[in-house]
Amino acid sequence: MSLGMIVVLAMAAIFAPVIAPYDPLYQDILARLKGPSAAHWLGTDQFGRDVLSRILFGLRSSLMISGGAVFAAFLAGSLLGLTAAYYKGWADRIIMRLMDVLFAFPVMLLAIGVIALLGPGATPTATAIGIVYTPIFARLLRGPALVVAESDYVLNARAIGASDARIIFLHILPNLVSVILVQFSLLLSSAILVEASLSFLGLGTQPPVPSLGMMLSEGRGFLFLAPWAAVFSGFAILIVAFALNLFGDALRDELDPRLRQA
């Protein structure tokens, strides 16, 4: 079920230029704040723009920003976590203390701080989310990597002269795939909410590019007059976050042998 929902949402985002009934930037002042109808299935906003078209393109923007940010966090966090677990000693202490410094800040506060330095926009938003989630991957992978690094096949690889990079990426990392997949899907759900929150505050994707969080922010000013723009954009955020969370939980139940046996 959750996988089917994710596939449908991903296809809607990918093919948004094809399936969207209108240009998301096109303004029809005569049709502003119109309710759902045959011409505009989800109504129009204060500028007469089609809400459905903007939601489709906003979904595309949110998934691209969040997916790119979480993937970058995975690359940086896994490199730091595996390096700390493999070399131990001072490398472990320095890397993990730096991660603890990042962990000390609340997620939104750190993201806002990064955007304050880089300026608002889609790229700074992705960078901020990537920085926020990097220590999560580093700490998550360090624990099991410490155990795998002491296993017999890793010790044998060292004995025959395999390079450190080969051992880390070909012997240790593949054994952590299940943990990575579960955490990736759960963090992607969280990243969608962070991106929407930043856009809601005016720090994320900038107008006129559609964004679900920005649509929610713009629609709140017309909540009693024309609530559909805010309601439908908020509902879209809810569906995406719910589908990714549900998929992450199902993936964890399937890949965890203890839960599978139970």
Alpha-helix runs per DSSP H in 149-227 = 152-159, 164-167, 177-200, 212-219
Using an 8 Å Cβ cutoff, are 57 and 50 in contact? no
Confidence of residue 250 (pLDDT cuts 50, 70, 90): confident
pLDDT tens digits, 137-155: 999 999 889 888 888 888 8
Q: Which two tokens stand for residue 136?
A: 């999560």
pLDDT tens digits, 37-78: 988 899 999 899 999 999 999 999 999 999 999 999 999 999
The residue extents of the domains of the chain are: 2-16+25-261
Average pLDDT over residues 214-232: 88
Options 1.10.10.10, 1.20.970.10, 1.10.3720.10, 2.40.50.100; CATH for 2-16+25-261 is 1.10.3720.10
